[in-house]
Amino acid sequence: MYEIKVNAEFEAAHRVAGYPGKCDRLHGHSWKVEAIVRGKELDALGMLVDFKVVKGALNEILDTMDHQYLNELEAFQSVNPTAEHLAAYIYGKLKASSRDWADGKLHAIRVWESPRASVTYSEES
């Protein structure tokens, strides 16, 4: 089994409505996102998936979130834009764009809202 990881970053503000503390107020993060792709078969060049392809697809998603107030985005109108919801949202978007990745399958998305706090989302139980 092969596993590749691609990291990207974006800046955005949010608030966790109803949170019993400071996070209920508007604040921002330098978000870090890691895409993890797994597979067993390499292509003719010896790659699972080209890093450039994964990074491009991930950055396309993150560009729509960069320097935004996440609570105002359509995806977060009915849920708080927590790190957990961001990870699931990015996973869904990246999975939809990964259909041509040969044997490489999106395994997980990890989102850091700080250097010491992250969440991982995958569809595996």
For position 125, what pLDDT does the model report?
Answer: 61
For position 104, what pLDDT does the model report?
Answer: 80
Nearest C-alpha neighbor of 29 from the set 122, 123, 115, 120 = 115
User: What percentage of the chain has pLDDT greater than the value 90?
Assistant: 92
Is pLDDT at 103 greater than 70 in this prediction? yes
Phi, psi of 86 (to 5 degrees): -60, -45
Tokens of 106: 């999106």
User: Structural domains in the chain?
Assistant: 2-121 (3.30.479.10)
For position 101, what pLDDT does the model report?
Answer: 78
Please list, in sequence order, all residues whose beta carbon lies within 8 angstroms of the beta carbon of residue 99, skipping any fewer than 6 positions away. Answer: none
Tokens of 52: 């450039």
Q: Is the pTM of this model over 0.85?
A: yes
Distance CA 13, CA 4 (A): 29
pLDDT in tens, 60-91: 999 999 999 999 999 999 999 999 999 999 99
pLDDT in tens, 42-59: 999 999 999 999 999 999
Question: Mean per-residue pLDDT for 91-97?
Answer: 94
Is pLDDT at 8 greater than 80 in this prediction? yes
Distance CA 81, CA 15 (A): 7
